[in-house]
A and B are shown apart, each in its own frame.
Chain A
Amino acid sequence: MAPAPSSTSSAITLNINGEKHHLPIDHRTTLLDALRERLDLTGTKKGCDQGQCGACTVLVDQRRVVSCLSLAVAAEGREITTIEGVAEGDELHPVQQAFLDLDGYQCGYCTPGQICSAIAVIEEHAAGWPSAVTDDPGPDAGPPPLTPEEIRERMSGNLCRCGAYVSIVQAVARAAEERSAEERPAGEDAAEGHAAGKHTAEEAAA
C-alpha cells in the first residue's frame, strides 16, 4: 500500500534470499543499512557508502547493483539475493568455491561484493553482453572470449584494497568455465552451448 505523501516511513516487505521480511522503515534507509543494521545480514559490506567501491554489491531481480545507493523502500517487491543466499545449503556456489580454491582475497572485506558481482558477470557474459573492451562484431555474435582483460573490465566496479586482483581474475575465469561446461552436454558443440546459456540468462533477467 502506498504511504501518504507526508509520511517519512513505511511498513515494507523485503524478499531476501527467498524469505520475506516485514519491517517498518525510515525512507532514508539504504538497502545496505537495512540488510546490515535491521536484518542482521552482515555479509554485505559497507565500504565507501557512495557507489564507488562495490563492497555492498547484491543481486536485485538477478542483476548486480550497489546496495548503498539503493533505498530499501524502493526495493520492496523485488527479489534480493545477498552473499548469504548464493550457496545451496552446505554446497558453496561455484564462484565461492573458486575464490576459496584460488585465494581470490586477502583480508576478505570486499569478497562478498566481489562474489555477488562475479556471479552476475558470468551470467551477463553468457547472455552475450559485450563490455567496453570487447571488439563488438554485433548483436548476432555469441559471447566474446572471456579473457583476463574482459574479466578485469567487467569486474572494475569492485575494488580490492589488498590487491588480490590476480587471483580474483583466475577465480572468475574458472567459475565461468565450469558454468559453460555445465551448459554444454558432452557431444554438443560450443556454439550451441553458448546459445543455450544466452536463453537461460535472458529468462532469468526477464
Chain B
Amino acid sequence: MREFGYQRAHDINGAVSLLAADPDARYLGGGTNLVDLMKTGVERPALLVDVRELPLDRVEPTADGGLRIGATVTNSDLAVHPEVRRNYPALTQALLAGASGQLRNMATVGGNLLQRTRCGYFTDLSQPCNKRAPGTGCPAVTGEHHNHAVLGASDHCVAVHPSDMGVALTAFDAVVSYESAEGPGEVPLSDFYLPVGDTPHRETALPAGALITHVTLPAAPVAARSRYRKVRERASYAFAIGSVAAALTVEDGRVREARLALGAVASRPWRARAAEAVLVGAPADGATFAAAADAELAAARPLPHNGYKVTLMRNLVVSVLTELAGEDAR
C-alpha cells in the first residue's frame, strides 16, 4: 500500500479545500470499500481526509414531509430510523439486505453511493479494465460476466453498481447534495451516475473533489407501502444478482401510483420508468405487471452468460408488484 497522510476534518469547507489542494486525496468514511481497494492497490491516495466527525450524522424531517439524510449516517442507523421504517420501508429492507452487521455499522450513506463495482477484473491489477485503466479493454465482455449488466452497458464496460441502498433511494427520487470548491450543488440520484458509453472511468456527476453532504428524500406517501427484494447466490451477506425496489398504490383495482427500480443489472441503480408508465392507470393484475416488466426489459442486451438475469428480473418484478397489490387490497 502506498504511504499516505491522514487528516480528520472538523468542518465541511476545510475538508473540501483539502481535497481541492490535492488531486490524490480521498475522503474516508467507513472505509469498508476504500481501505479494501487500497490494500489491493486499485486506490492509491496520498492523503485521506476522515469525514466521520463532520456534523453530517443526522436524519432530519424536511418541511415538505420528506427526510434529509446526512452523508455520514451509517447504514445501520439509517435502516433502523423510525421515519425510514415507517415511511420508506423498502429503504430499511434494502439497507438490511446489504453486507453484514459489522459493515453496516461502518458504512456511510455517502460512501455507499460512491462505492465501486465488485467486478473481478476491476479489482485485479493484473487484468485490463477500462474503468480502472482507461483504454486497456474489458475482459468481462468475453470472460467472467454471469453477474454483469444487462441494461445500459457498453462494449467498454459491463460492470454493475453493487449498492442495495441506492436502488431504494432511486425509486424514491432521492436528491444528492454536495459541497465543492466552486460552492454547493445538488443532483437527482437518477442523474448522479453517468452513462457508461466509452468513459466507464467517469462514474458520477460530482465535480472533482466534491463532498456529498446529504441525500434528501422527498415526501412520497406511495413509499409507505414499498418493498425491496434481493436475489443472491447465498441466503445472506452477498451482493445481489438482481434486486427490486417497488412501491404501489392501487385504487378501484387500478394502479394509481407506482415506483420501480432495479438493482445489480446496470452500472447504476436502474429506475424503471418504462415499466412505471405501463403500470399507472392499468388494472393491478399479473398481466399488467408482466407487461410492465417486459416494457423495461425490452432494452436488455444480455451477454452469453447472464441472460438468466432478464428472466429473473421479469419474475422478480411481477412477484413483488403482485405482493404489494395484494397488501393494498387488504
Report A's interface with B, CB cutoff 8 A.
2-8, 10, 26-28, 30, 49-51, 54, 57, 63-66, 69-71, 73-74, 117, 120-121, 124, 127-132, 134, 136, 138-139, 152-158
Contacts and interface: CB of A to CB of B under 8 A. Distances in A.
A71 B101 contact: no
A157 B237 contact: yes
A69 B97 contact: no
A65 B102 contact: yes
B101 A157 contact: yes
B98 to A, nearest CB: 9
Contact of A63 (B4, B105, B237): B105
A139 B86 CA distance: 7
A183 B82 CA distance: 23
A3 B237 contact: no
B96 A130 contact: yes
B39 A49 contact: yes
Interface string B1-43: 1011111100000000010001000001011100110110000
Which of A10, A71, A120, A131 counts the most B-chain CB atoms under 10 A from its CB? A71
Nearest to B34: A69
A131 B6 CA distance: 35
B80 interface: yes
Contacts of A3: 5-7
Contacts of B102: 51, 54, 57, 64-66, 117, 157
Contacts of B83: 139
B93 A132 contact: yes
A5 B105 contact: no
Given A64-B105, A129-B80, A132-B93, A156 B237 contact: yes
Contacts of A153: 235-236
A168 B31 CA distance: 29
B85 A136 contact: yes
B173 interface: no
Interface in B203-247: 235-237
Closest 6 CB pairs of A and B: A157-B100, A139-B82, A156-B236, A8-B3, A156-B237, A132-B96
Given A69-B32, A71-B31, A132-B93, A64 B47 contact: no
Contact of A157 (B36, B52, B99): B99
Contacts of B47: 5
B6 A120 contact: no
A28 B1 contact: yes
A27 B8 CA distance: 12
Contacts of A10: 6
A63 B106 CA distance: 9
Contacts of A69: 30-32, 35-36, 103, 106
Nearest to B228: A132
Contact of B101 (A51, A120, A127, A152): A120
A128 B6 contact: no
A131 B96 contact: yes
Interface in B54-105: 76, 79-80, 82-83, 85-86, 89, 92-93, 96-97, 99-103, 105
A71 B35 CA distance: 8
Contacts of B96: 130-132, 134
A69 B93 CA distance: 24
B50 interface: yes
Contacts of B99: 157
B86 A138 contact: yes
B48 interface: yes
Nearest to A29: B1
Nearest to B3: A8
Contacts of B93: 132, 136
Contacts of B5: 3-8, 27
A203 to B, nearest CB: 15
B236 A64 contact: no
A60 to B, nearest CB: 8
Interface string B246-284: 000000000000000000000000000000000000000
Contacts of A27: 3-6, 48
B28 A71 contact: yes
User: In the complex, which of the residues A28, A132, A139 has the most CB atoms of chain B within 10 Å of its own CB atom?
Assistant: A132
Nearest to B99: A157
A54 B100 contact: yes
Contacts of B52: 74
A153 B101 CA distance: 9
A174 to B, nearest CB: 19
